[in-house]
Structure 1
Amino acid sequence: MALLLALETTTTNCSVALWKDEKLIDLIEDRTPGYSHAELLHTFIQKIIEDNGFSLKSLDAVAISKGPGSYTGLRIGVSAAKGLCYALDVPLIAIDTLEALAMQYNKETHGEVDKVISCLDARRMEIYAGFYSVNSKSDTGLTTIKPVEALIIESNSFQDEKRQRLLFLGEATSKLSEKIESKDNFTFVEAQPSAKEVGILAMRKYKISDVEDVAYFEPFYLKDFKLG
């Protein structure tokens, strides 16, 4: 019976989930604007553990949303996860942020689509984008089409796919909707990554011992950090 703590800090959503095997036990999130992770993350971790009758020593693994996303958010989340893994001597599991975000796709809520494009803001007219086809035979219901990319959004972006039903899911959807001119088959849904989906993917990795080297693990920034 595995007890797993999942952390998501790549956007302004400070999110902590507690999973026991295939069951989500609890989820604590704060989605207020601005990055309050430094103040809230460790408080949320302690609260979710204690409120559910466990101690930190009960944990079997810690999962972290590895990016891409906010540089500050990633550093805070990864530092917390690595610190717990060192202190408790438990494995670290890293989950692709955009894959976890794409898992918020729900056929009943969002309708039939051909592809899910999860997207996070990457400053100015850029986004971080993950590309997934809907596949009922996949464990997650999605299949990765190509690696995560940092894209500059233009008026003709995604026009080679305009005949397909695309769901854009993430915090960069307003930027996309305003910029893209031809979008009749496109649906734009605002969303933020959550530790809930991070935990789903992490439990699958835990079962096959797909874990990270805590000493050498670094966030997936995708782009170099620049001031301004």
Structure 2
Amino acid sequence: MTYSVHLIKLFFDIDDHVFRIGKAEKIKNLWKLAFLLSSFSIFIYAGMGLVGIGTDMISNGAVWLTPAEYELRKFWFIIGRIAFAITLALGIIFIPSFLFYLITAIPYQKLIIMQLVVLFVMLLERIIWVPLVVYAGLDWYVSPFSFGIIASYLTDMSFLIYLFGSVSLFQLWIIWFQIKFLGKLATIHKGWIWLTVLVLHISLWLVTALLADADVHLIGGWFE
């Protein structure tokens, strides 16, 4: 049986598609979709850099820079955003897939299908956030779709705000989807699936919070 990957269809009849993925002997469109989503990721993050999202450290020192120096710094910032987008896309597609493969023994390509859906949802979340920061000035960690806005009312600790800001409704849907997908295809106990997925996401949230907390220092050092 051949299964042709169509990401949008996976959102409307998950059980049927996961069943067909489990029975499939050959997967079509997998690498084309991986390339398209990676390219889409580059487009989104480069576009964010072009409109000035995340360039606060550069803009704050712009009065002491010549126009040429400012444009050069902005250029390198956009290059950095592109490199980040490539790393993010490839990391999301391949690293968790390999981890889940080691634990569940589900064929690697079928796990990549799951992670393509995850990447698509994460990029969708990022697209929705862009107008919120452009028109409402809301940083990602206080998005109305995340728990960071609640944390900001309860504490002034930036690390905790970033941590809870990493937890969004989109992320919770991703956890549900991964557990459902793996539970349908894996033969191991579901408790191991829950544990693996939750530990992976909690680890990613912690890393995101740590990086966000250090971001000002990293960017400041980069452009000194």
Q: Quick check: which one's strand share is greater?
A: 1
Q: Which has the higher contact order (CA 8 A, sep 6+)?
A: 1
TM-score (norm 1): 0.24
Which has the higher Rg, Structure 1 or Structure 2? 2
TM-score (norm 2): 0.24
Q: Quick check: which one's helix share is greater?
A: 2
